[in-house]
Copies of this chain bind each other. A is one copy, B any other.
């Protein structure tokens, strides 16, 4: 074992600054996620450099600053990855397969069109400026997935969770999330191989579907039938322990068969959502969530080289991606809401605009396999930030005077909802 007191200081700085930023942004009525990300940029190596610099002892141990920095980066990445795994695990735990199967065609239409429009628009834009296809696919993928956590949080804050619009948006967001994760896995498969082989694509899609359907159809049944048995184990908190083992195991398995690890974690959550004990699992997972998730956002933020935005062409690119990301969801949502009142259709579109953490996840995955260069990484991050920042005030405006406003308790403190 090595002396890691310098790493501990790093971790404290990340955690504390994440939470201070989250608190500030909550008070400014903005998303805490945005605050954590921005503080990551601030304390990262491209700005203040408070984190990520190896200590003298580490440099000596690894016989070189660069290798020591790489090792420290690996520690950060592992914690960030565990954070995002628990984020998706908890999201899955709040997503019941039956809720998905029950949502009507309306939600499915909003989701499918809301995925198709931004993807095609994003792919065309990035291809037209002469970037490689893999890069275009990754940026388009990042433009696809609505962040179900952010959407739900905004609707809750507005007190309109009981409205018809909110139900359609939430149902669509769930389908959208699964579609987004599938698109992401395909993108990752393409990025990994580097070639757009049709056969590889088919195998990958079949793999995703087999893995997903097996877990959703067989896994959920097994859990419904046997989850009570976890309680018979002698170890304390046995249900939570089995849940965490399932989460880590499916994440590792997903990674092993070429899927994204977070798919495994999400599906583990969805399978366990069928257990009678899911609230107990959620309660314990919440502690891990609060502890680990900030590492993902701050460390992702710390990778953003803000100086790139001083270059006019990067700024122009970011502007284009942002406009298309917003227009794509507006078009998808409005078309999916065809036949409803215009305001309702518009609400559906706007409600799907925030990309939040899903955009960051795609960006960091793309960067990790070299599919997204650093300028495009920063573009995707800024797109995720801006789409998340613009939505709350616009939704508030659209819901002004809406008959359902205030039907749900506004701002009720809950142990469970926090993303």
Contact status B12-A251, CB under 8 Å: yes
Q: Shortest Cβ distance from A10 into chain B, in angstroms?
A: 9
Binding site of A, secondary structure by majority: helix, strand, loop or mixed?
helix
Contact of A285 among B4, B61, B285, B287 (CB under 8 A): B287
Mark interface residues in A58-78 (1 if CB within 8 Å of B CB, else 0): 000110000100111111011
Q: How many copies does the complex hold?
A: 2
Q: Residue on B with the closest CB to A35? A: B235
Q: Shortest Cβ distance from A379 into chain B, in angstroms?
A: 17
Contact status A8-B81, CB under 8 Å: yes
Q: Shortest Cβ distance from A194 into chain B, in angstroms?
A: 14
Contact status A5-B261, CB under 8 Å: yes
- Residues of chain A at interface, number, CB under 8 A: 72
Mark interface residues in A333-349 (1 if CB within 8 Å of B CB, else 0): 00000000000000000
Contact status B71-A70, CB under 8 Å: yes
Neighbouring B residues of A78 by C-beta, 8 Å: 4, 7, 11, 75, 78-79
Quick one: which of A109-157 are within 8 Å of B by CB? none
Quick one: which of A19-42 are within 8 Å of B by CB? 19, 22-23, 26-27, 32
- A-B CB proximity, top 6 nearest: A236-B418, A287-B287, A5-B255, A284-B287, A26-B234, A71-B71
- CB pairs A–B below 8 angstroms (18 shown): A1-B80, A2-B73, A2-B77, A4-B81, A8-B251, A12-B245, A12-B252, A15-B244, A15-B245, A23-B238, A74-B75, A75-B78, A235-B418, A236-B418, A237-B418, A284-B286, A284-B287, A288-B288
